[in-house]
Amino acid sequence: MSSKKRSDGKIVEELFVLALKEKEPRKQVECYTKSLEINPMYAMEWFSKGVAFCELGKYEEAINCFDIALKINPRYAVAWTGKEIYLLQVEKV
């Protein structure tokens, strides 16, 4: 593995941990966005970004994130559940 890939992986990991510790959903979205710019193939981060969008009341953006997570990993049960829950929220709005 090249040192660039290792350092990118470390940055992605640090941004993910930072986002998990962050209390403000807007800042969580920023961390996930930066992390996903480095490596957009992390289904868990797309899901987590979707949850943060939900906390901001941005359900369409959240569902889009869940859809991306499911394209990466169609068997990601939590993303399916999240999508269903927030689709119901959209119907209520």
51 vs 92, residue with greater confidence = 51
pLDDT digits (tens, 9 = 90+) for 38-67: 999 999 999 999 999 999 999 899 999 999
| Residue ranges per structural domain of the chain | 3-92
pLDDT value of residue 10: 74
For 3-92, CATH gives 1.25.40.10
Which are the contacts of 66, defined by CB distance < 8 A and separation ≥ 6? 46, 47, 50, 79, 80, 82, 83, 86
7 vs 77, residue with greater confidence = 77
CB atoms within 10 A of CB 76: 19
d(CA 16, CA 57) in angstroms, rounded, equals: 21
pLDDT digits (tens, 9 = 90+) for 58-91: 989 999 999 999 999 999 998 998 888 878 877 7
pTM, whole model, 2 decimals?
0.78
